[in-house]
Amino acid sequence: MERCEIKINDVSKKEGNVGTTPFVFTVSLDRSPIDPVTVKYATSNVTATAPSDYIATSGTVVFPSGVQQQTITVLVKGDTTREGNETFFVILSNPSPNAAERPCAA
């Protein structure tokens, strides 16, 4: 059985000055799966830190048979502090046996 390759896109946008801004990451497979594919995800601090800069999240992405794209939304907190670009990762792990994750960061 060939394994589907999983990847996640990078997202870069302004956080805003107040409230939260959704950063939507697209997780995709290189082809349509015959059987459902799952992969776990979790955010990870780099220069942006939860909970002050964004709301940490984790879970499982499920690709039903025939579906090649799903999304993960991370809420980023706005502020008026003057600061450089900040980074966090969305880490993919533990793919189902019919998939292989490709190292990707966001």
CATH of the domain at 21: 2.60.40.2030
Region at 53 (left for phi over 0; alpha for psi -120 to 50; beta for the rest):
alpha
Decide if 33 is inside a domain: yes
CA angle 17, 10, 54 (to 5 degrees): 35
Decide if 69 is inside a domain: yes
Q: What is the pTM of this model?
A: 0.86
Decide if 102 is inside a domain: no
Domain residue limits at 37: 4-96
Number of domains in the chain: 1
Higher pLDDT, 92 or 84: 92
Decide if 48 is inside a domain: yes
What local confidence, expressed as pLDDT, does residue 35 receive?
Answer: 86
Decide if 24 is inside a domain: yes
Distance between CA atoms of residues 79 and 87, nearest Å:
15
- Kindly indicate the confidence band of residue 103, based on its pLDDT and cuts at 50, 70 and 90: very low
Decide if 106 is inside a domain: no
Decide if 81 is inside a domain: yes
